[in-house]
Amino acid sequence: MQGFIPWLMDAARERQGLRSDRALARHIGAHHSAPTPWRAGYVIPSDEAILKLCICADFPPQAAFLAANMLRAGGKPAAIYGEMARALGFDLERLTGLHSDTRNAA
């Protein structure tokens, strides 16, 4: 299953007509190599980069910030972000591939 960050990157690229991750990096003012670890899931982009990706993708930044923090946090904190997202009507579990069930959180 594709993770949230690669999905957001793809949405931004498609909406902006960009052909590569390198072009996306240039478009949002990031270092040309920044997208590689983002796409691989090794690094979560900064909030500033996430905001720029959201603008490019026409995606609600509120949902993206919740998703990013859910990915960063793990365990019970991730479950709390998941609850916040559900309360706001965002399906972050589908977008991130993570489950935020508080009953199973470490």
Instruction: Encode pLDDT of 50-99 as tens digits.
Output: 999 999 999 999 999 998 998 888 888 888 888 898 899 888 766 655 55
Residue-number span of the structural domain to which 78 is assigned = 62-96
Share of the chain above pLDDT 70, in %: 85
Q: Are residues 12 and 54 in the same domain?
A: yes
73 found inside a domain: yes
Q: What is the domain count for the chain? A: 2
Question: Does pTM top 0.85 for this prediction?
Answer: no
106 found inside a domain: no
Taking every pair of C-alpha atoms in the chain, what is the biggest distance, in angstroms?
Answer: 42
